[in-house]
Amino acid sequence: MPSTALLCSAANIDVNVKRFTGGTAMKILVPVKRVIDYNVKPRVKPDGTGVDLANVKMSMNPFDEIAVEEAIRLKEKGVATEIVAVSVGPDKAQETLRTALAMGADRAILVVAEDVEPLGVAKLLAKIVEEEAPGLVILGKQAIDDDSNQTGQMLAALTGRPQGTFASKVEVSGDSVNVTREVDGGLETVSLKTPAIVTTDLRLNEPRYASLPNIMKAKSKPLAQKTPADYGVDVSPRLKTLKVSEPPVRSAGIKVADVDALVAKLKEMGVAA
């Protein structure tokens, strides 16, 4: 193809993207965490120092799968130009990033560090945001292992960007993002100016499964390895876990013959007058 034709088609793509987004086609950063698979029942270590991770199936945090899916949908609509997945975790978190790449992310960054608390993760993400300048960062609302629900909010504070948390709908128009949020008793829609931070709730979308050809393709997509020192971030823990214990075992219920027996039993237990 002559080079002028190439130039023309590239320009057309650019015009199309700009028409759709009002001129702000953007990069999306998606932080993904490697956690115990949600189907696995966690076991507490006998010494109560934490959860036993030996030989346990690990997967991408489910809310982060939803974040990756949303980013891909925005790219398919022409709103986003590039999706960068990032994880802070052990070497094995490469697998989690490869899953994001197989779903449709373009490239990945792994910051190798173990057991980093949400503030440490947010500080690292803030540095990556500075370097990558994404128009949107889409995180999960919480990681199902620590249930912190902190990282997105801390990242918004550290970067001074507006945040739309617990998103059940995300609509980008020009330099605005409308985020519909699940709040007590209903839905609230907030409008943010990009660049912004969004965290996903369960009903935002249903993540796709990666196809086999895409799993193969993901193996050759770029994955950069970094350390916290590369970003000048101190990730030493600020919290000390005192004890981890199993939830109390529920005592077995009893059966009563009829309503009268139920009322009598409740009175006997002192929960009804």
Give the nearer residue to ligand AMP in terms of CB position, either 21 or 159: 159
Find out whether the peptide bond into 42 is cis, omega within 30 degrees of 0.
Answer: no
Closest approach, Cβ 127 to ligand AMP, in A, equals 13
Q: Which residues of 20-50 are buried (b: 16+ CB within 10 A; e: fewer)?
A: bbeebbbbbbbbbbbbbeeeeeeeeeeeeee
Ranked by CB distance to ligand AMP, the top (closest) residue is 140
Give the nearer residue to ligand AMP in terms of CB position, either 121 or 233: 121
Give the nearer residue to ligand AMP in terms of CB position, either 238 or 250: 238
* Residue ranges binding ligand AMP (CB under 6 A): 31-33, 61, 63-64, 67, 87-89, 116, 118, 121, 139-140, 142-143, 146, 148-152
Closest approach, Cβ 235 to ligand AMP, in A, equals 10
| Cα(119)–Cα(142) distance, integer angstroms | 13
| Cα(69)–Cα(118) distance, integer angstroms | 23
Give the nearer residue to ligand AMP in terms of CB position, either 151 or 180: 151
Closest approach, Cβ 35 to ligand AMP, in A, equals 9
Give the nearer residue to ligand AMP in terms of CB position, either 120 or 135: 120
Closest approach, Cβ 125 to ligand AMP, in A, equals 7
How would you class 226 by CB atoms within 10 Å of its CB: exposed for 0-12, middle for 13-18, buried for 19 or more? middle
What is the spatial order of strands in the sheet that 223-226 belongs to? 186-193, 176-183, 163-173, 196-200, 136-140, 26-31, 80-89, 107-112, 223-226
Closest approach, Cβ 147 to ligand AMP, in A, equals 6
